[in-house]
């Protein structure tokens, strides 16, 4: 279909031919899997994809949020309920969430099982990610911090 057709015509055509178009797309993806993967790994494709997502997010914030939440199996209502249950605060540091910046709510989830654990600020979510969701690493970090608190010293002198 040429790009000169109107958006209304394209939507109408898709509704009438949806099954045929989906079958054709699936067959094309299956037959050209390697080619598609090669194209996706190019710098130009990645830059275009990032620009498209940023533009879509800015133009359609409601739909973008619904799409992101669906990745975690959450509805917008369930997300709002989590916010209320946590008093609009990060589950770890208790910082109040904002609409922008590092204190907007992030959905924290278990990567192995996939269930949602709660809402965190971006700082706490990043910290958990950097620690690879490892309880052992968190315990070692706590031990390290407590040791420094106990001795209240800096082996390299004052900074």
Q: Does 18 map to a domain?
A: no
Q: Does 115 map to a domain?
A: yes
Of the pLDDT bands very low, low, confident and very high (cuts 50, 70, 90), residue 18 is: very high
For residue 153, what is the domain's CATH number? Answer: 3.40.1800.10
Owner of token pair 């739909």: 63
pTM of the model: 0.64
Q: Does 81 map to a domain?
A: no
pLDDT over 80 (residue 101): no
Half-sphere exposure of residue 89, counting CA atoms within 13 Å on the CB side?
8
Q: Distance between CA 143 and CA 17 in Å, rounded?
A: 62
pLDDT of residue 153: 61
Q: Does 57 map to a domain?
A: no
Q: Distance between CA 107 and CA 83 in Å, rounded?
A: 10
Q: Does 48 map to a domain?
A: no
Task: For Cα atoms 140, 146, 150, give the angle at the middle one, nearest 5 degrees.
Answer: 145
Encode pLDDT of 33-59 as tens digits: 999 999 999 999 999 999 999 999 999
Of the pLDDT bands very low, low, confident and very high (cuts 50, 70, 90), residue 112 is: confident
Encode pLDDT of 62-94 as tens digits: 999 999 999 999 999 999 999 999 999 999 999
Q: Does 111 map to a domain?
A: yes
* Of residues 84 and 111, more confidently modeled: 84
Encode pLDDT of 119-128 as tens digits: 999 999 999 9
pLDDT over 70 (residue 152): no
Phi/psi at 68 (nearest 5 deg)?
-65, -45
The number of distinct structural domains making up the chain is 1
What's the domain range around 93? 89-159
| Cα Rg, the chain, nearest whole Å | 23
């Amino acid at each position: 279909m040429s790009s000169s057709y109107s958006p209304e015509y394209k939507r109408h055509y898709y509704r009438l031919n949806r099954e045929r178009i989906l079958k054709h797309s699936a067959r094309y993806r299956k037959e050209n899997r390697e080619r598609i993967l090669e194209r996706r790994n190019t710098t130009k494709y990645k830059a275009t994809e990032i620009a498209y997502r940023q533009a879509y997010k800015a133009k359609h914030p409601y739909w973008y949020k619904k799409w992101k939440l669906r990745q975690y199996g959450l509805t917008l209502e369930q997300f709002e309920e989590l916010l209320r249950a946590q008093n609009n605060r990060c589950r770890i540091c208790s910082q109040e969430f904002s609409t922008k910046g590092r204190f907007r709510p992030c959905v924290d989830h278990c990567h192995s099982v996939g269930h949602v654990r709660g809402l965190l600020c971006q700082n706490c979510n990043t910290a958990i990610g950097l620690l690879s969701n490892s309880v052992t690493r968190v315990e070692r970090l706590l031990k390290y911090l407590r040791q420094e608190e106990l001795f209240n010293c800096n082996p390299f002198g004052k900074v």
